[in-house]
């Protein structure tokens, strides 16, 4: 019984740490100053990427540091994904915000494990960057 109470306390502490980390990152990463990310890649076909496993996996593997980013769009996404995620796309153009919503919807419905990995990596990368 004591071990269970200790385990629950440790889980609660870990959960509190994650929540505090996210709040910290959001508060200190929100320095948009009216700036937006470049719209250079706003014309990519996000539906085609999500619908094509080979393309989708290239982007996912790039973001998750599994393999190199093979396109300029993937490299640009990799550079900005963590900040965009944690700030809820505050610097995104309107089109990028639409992309972000589509990607989030697709992954939460079709591949939640990968989405969770990407979220954890985004939080870790920004926490490391802001340290």
Handedness of CA 62, 38, 28, 15 (dihedral sign): negative
Handedness of CA 78, 42, 100, 30 (dihedral sign): positive
* Gap between the Cα atoms of 36 and 22, Å rounded: 22
Handedness of CA 125, 126, 130, 131 (dihedral sign): negative
Domain 46-130 bears CATH identifier 1.10.2080.10: yes
Model confidence band, residue 15 (pLDDT cutoffs 50, 70, 90): low
Model confidence at 29: pLDDT above 50: no
Q: What is the pLDDT of residues 110-121, one digit of tens each?
A: 999 999 999 999
Helix (H, G, I), strand (E, B) or coil at 72: helix
Listed residue (44, 51, 49, 75) closest to 62, CA to CA: 75
Q: Domain coordinates of the chain in residue numbers? A: 1-30, 46-130
* Gap between the Cα atoms of 91 and 44, Å rounded: 18
Q: What is the pLDDT of residues 52-89, one digit of tens each?
A: 999 999 999 999 999 999 999 999 999 999 999 888 89
Q: How much is the pLDDT for 20?
A: 46
């Amino acid at each position: 019984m004591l071990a269970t109470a200790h385990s629950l306390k440790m889980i609660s502490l870990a959960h509190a740490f994650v929540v505090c980390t996210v709040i910290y990152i959001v508060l200190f990463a929100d320095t948009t100053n009216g700036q937006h990310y470049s719209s250079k890649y706003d014309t990519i076909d996000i539906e085609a990427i999500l619908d094509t496993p080979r393309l989708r996996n290239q982007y996912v593997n790039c973001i998750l540091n599994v393999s190199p980013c093979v396109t300029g769009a993937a490299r640009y996404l990799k550079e900005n994904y963590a900040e965009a995620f944690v700030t809820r796309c505050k610097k995104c153009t309107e089109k990028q915000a639409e992309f972000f919503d589509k990607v989030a919807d697709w992954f939460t419905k079709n591949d939640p494990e990968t989405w969770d990995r990407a979220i954890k990596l985004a939080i870790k990368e920004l926490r490391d960057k802001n340290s």
